[in-house]
Amino acid sequence: MGLQRILLALLLSCAAMDIFICPQPVQGFAIGQSKYGRIEKFPYQVMLIGKQLWRKRILCGGTLLDQRWILTAGHCTMGVTHFDIYLGALTIEDGAETGRLVLRSNKFIVHEGFDPDTAANDIALVKLPIDVTYTTRIQPATLPYLRRNDALTGAKVVATGWGANNEMSNYNPMQYTELRVISNQECANEFDVVTNGVLCAKGLRDETVCSGDSGGPLVLKNTQIVIGITS
């Protein structure tokens, strides 16, 4: 899939961003009421460790779109010189994990309309240095062509990530949780910045995503169709 096709698909699908807030963490994990997942169940999930100019490292998630491109949040690229990219990995700590692939990239494209103050157009693409080989642990997600936010209201979705409410040295295994897409009108009752390019989802209890889950995918339940990016 070429870059122009990827960008066009993103614009047509309204796969812009998801807005979440961070309540008090449950057991210290970023995704409240979460479950630990197998990477084979979420083979499109990518971990990005970004090296920033003014900080040591940042943790973000990403979604594999094809053999060369990863979808993530625009704010994950701010000040970043390069990314260490983990594909097919359940946790960063297990260097001997079979089937994982670690690559480095300094090539990424941020949406030209990205506004860090409002989080508008919080979208970026990271280019891998080589074409990756698909395995049971490394598979691309599917883009939702011509989907509209209002058509998704009420849909069950799944968020995944490694984010945590503690220091980056304490990596957790990948977690996932089920959420429900809500209307932008309902979302606007809780958040100030809700535009047509925003998709909101919430949990039945206190499920949410927090720091470190940014850039990660939101997919329709029981599919690999990515409809949003954690912003």
List the end-to-end C-alpha distance of the chain, in Å, as a whole number: 24
Helix runs in the chain, H state only: 3-13, 149-152, 184-188
Are 201 and 43 within 8 A, CB to CB?
Answer: no
Which amino acid would we find at residue 81? T
10: phi then psi, degrees, rounded to nearest 5: -65, -40
Q: Which of 13, 18, 66, 75 is flagged as catalytic?
A: 75
Question: 47 near 89, Cβ under 8 Å?
Answer: yes
The single residue of 111, 122, 213, 231 carrying the catalytic annotation is: 122
Question: Residues 116, 121, 122, 125: what is their CA dihedral angle, to the nearest 10 degrees?
Answer: -130
CB of 37 closer than 8 Å to CB of 31: no
d(C-alpha 172, C-alpha 170), whole Å: 6
Q: Residues near 39 by Cβ (< 8 Å), separated by ≥ 6? A: 45, 88, 89, 90, 99, 137, 174
The whole-angstrom separation of Cα 127 and Cα 6 is: 12
Of the candidates 13, 34, 214, 231, the residue annotated as catalytic is 214
> What CA–CA distance (Å, rounded) separates 141 from 218?
10
**Is residue 111 flagged as an active site residue?**
no
The residues annotated with a catalytic role in the active site are 75, 122, 214
